[in-house]
């Protein structure tokens, strides 16, 4: 498959952060190890407030090598802190192959890029376009062969099957990771990858390790630890998709320090106390249908990639029929952190069908583009007037507010957009279900959001079963 083309024209209108900023311009210059990369820095995280002054991250360096600038549609001003020889660039390699776990890959890429790392998403397949375990297709930045002469501060492997086997059988990746371990630089693996990939390479010797419960018996018993996260010198391992936020934040801490991980926790809303709030009339399987539920998730350039991929992955695990539809002119869209996702259909074609549920992902720039879609406006209006279900995550409840679809409804949203909503609407919970409406507060709440949807269609039993496979604690409430 041909290499992705430069995306200057696509990205020119997108802000570099997931949340609103008044200034966002990237200073671009070649790095010392990658040709013509995008370099980015902001003020030290100890003084950074992720709500009032979110990190000014950029899209992936490698797929925008020929780009000259990325700017927001608002005020353009120089980035406050740019690349400096005194601030060494943290370079991260995340490889993917056919059947890799998409939640894990996307959460790692997104969180590490938000933290300021230069993350390379590399394909171990002959093509850059890779279909992952749950059916989502991502387009990698580069081929793994182009990484063989690079030095990385971190190599992190997603799990998934047969993705972990595809990574294991890649000799180039094996050589890179072996060198990483020999030179005492950071490396990590999650889910099946510790047992299926690192163990055959001999990279778990004298290391305490954890992995997905389904592969736990493959680990050396005297060093296998039943914990969500295990750090053993340079090696970090974790159990599965449901522990990937914790895994990723741990990697941020090891790269950038404790203050960075604390700020990232706040940014991801991982410190939210409330779980799921539902109105009293909520009953189990209230949304039951006599067919496989059909779900539509419209996406645009700038949509929050964690929310899209996490919800799609979890719902498909429960056997819902999920369609990802692009409001752009092409199937390929760039998520909020530059991850290229290939949609199933264009929205204009997807609109010919009827869906039991329409879910709007967040991401400020993506929300703006979704709101401008006349086709989506019509679909949402028909969805509500016909008594069918609809939902929104993070900043996208603002779309429903503008279309008058939150009247007399309780909802939640990301703190950055709460002021745009009716004060009588807001509930300070991660997930809120009010009749046919379901809303979610933000990034780290996406698993609860998806599991709540499963419970509404099929009951708590199936939701709990899916959560178990994710290694995620499900609380039926």
Euclidean distance between CA atoms 418 and 429, whole angstroms: 12
Catalytic-role residue among 170, 244, 394, 440:
394
| Strands of the sheet with 437-440, listed across from one edge | 276-278, 431-434, 437-440, 389-393, 357-360, 294-299, 321-326, 345-346
Question: Annotated catalytic, 394?
Answer: yes
Cβ(304)–Cβ(57) below 8 Å = no
Mode of pairing for the β-strands spanning 91-96 and 118-123 = parallel
Cα–Cα distances (Å) from 128 to 63, 140, 144, 408, in that order, read: 11, 5, 10, 47
Residues in the chain: 477
Question: CA 91 to CA 5: how far, in whole Å?
Answer: 23
The string of DSSP letters for 96-154 reads E-TT--HHHHHHHHHHHHHHT-EEEEEESSSSSEEE-TTS-EEE-SEEGGGGTT---SE
Strand intervals (E) in 279-405: 294-299, 321-326, 332-334, 340-342, 345-346, 357-360, 389-393
Q: Are 397 and 429 in contact (CB under 8 A)?
A: no
Residues classed as catalytic: 394
């Amino acid at each position: 498959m041909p290499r992705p083309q430069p995306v200057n024209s696509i990205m020119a209108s997108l802000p570099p952060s997931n949340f609103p900023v008044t200034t966002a311009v990237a200073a671009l210059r070649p790095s010392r190890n990658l040709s013509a990369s995008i370099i980015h820095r902001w003020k030290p995280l100890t003084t950074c407030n992720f709500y009032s002054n979110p990190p000014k991250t950029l899209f992936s360096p490698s797929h925008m090598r020929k780009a000259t600038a990325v700017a927001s549609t608002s005020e353009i001003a120089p980035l406050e802190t740019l690349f400096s020889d005194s601030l060494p660039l943290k370079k991260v390699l995340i490889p993917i192959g056919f059947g890799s776990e998409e939640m894990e890959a996307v959460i790692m890429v997104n969180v590490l890029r938000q933290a300021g790392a230069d993350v390379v998403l590399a394909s171990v397949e002959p093509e850059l376009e890779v279909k992952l375990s749950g059916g989502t297709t991502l387009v990698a930045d580069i081929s793994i062969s182009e990484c063989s002469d690079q030095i990385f501060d971190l190599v992190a492997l997603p799990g998934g099957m047969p993705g972990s086997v595809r990574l294991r059988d890649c000799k180039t990746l094996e050589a890179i990771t072996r060198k990483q371990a020999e030179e005492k630089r950071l490396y990590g693996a999650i889910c099946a990858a510790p047992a299926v990939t690192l163990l055959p390479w001999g990279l778990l010797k004298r290391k305490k390790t954890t992995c997905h419960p389904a592969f736990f018996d493959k680990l050396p018993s005297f060093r296998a630890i039943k914990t969500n996260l295990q750090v053993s010198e340079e090696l970090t391992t974790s159990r599965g998709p449901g522990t990937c936020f914790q895994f990723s934040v741990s990697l941020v801490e090891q790269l950038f320090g404790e203050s960075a991980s604390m700020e990232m926790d706040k940014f991801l809303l991982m410190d939210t106390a409330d779980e799921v709030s539902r109105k009293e009339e909520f009953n189990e399987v209230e949304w039951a249908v006599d067919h496989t539920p059909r779900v539509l998730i419209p996406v645009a350039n700038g949509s929050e990639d964690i929310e899209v991929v996490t919800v799609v992955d979890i719902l498909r695990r429960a056997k819902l029929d999920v369609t990802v539809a692009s409001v752009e002119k092409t199937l390929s869209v760039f998520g909020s952190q530059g991850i290229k996702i290939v949609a199933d259909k264009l929205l204009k074609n997807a609109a010919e069908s009827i869906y039991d549920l329409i879910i709007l992902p967040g991401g400020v720039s993506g929300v703006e583009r979704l709101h401008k879609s006349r086709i989506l406006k019509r679909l949402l209006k028909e969805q509500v007037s016909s008594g069918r279900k609809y939902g929104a995550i993070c900043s996208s409840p603002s779309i429903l507010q503008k279309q008058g679809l939150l009247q007399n409804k309780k909802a939640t949203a990301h703190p950055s957009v709460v002021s745009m909503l009716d004060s009588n609407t807001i509930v300070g919970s991660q997930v809120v279900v009010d009749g046919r409406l379901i809303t979610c507060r933000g990034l780290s709440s996406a698993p609860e959001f998806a599991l709540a949807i499963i419970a509404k269609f099929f009951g708590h039993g199936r939701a709990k079963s899916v959560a178990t496979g994710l290694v995620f604690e499900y609380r039926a409430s």
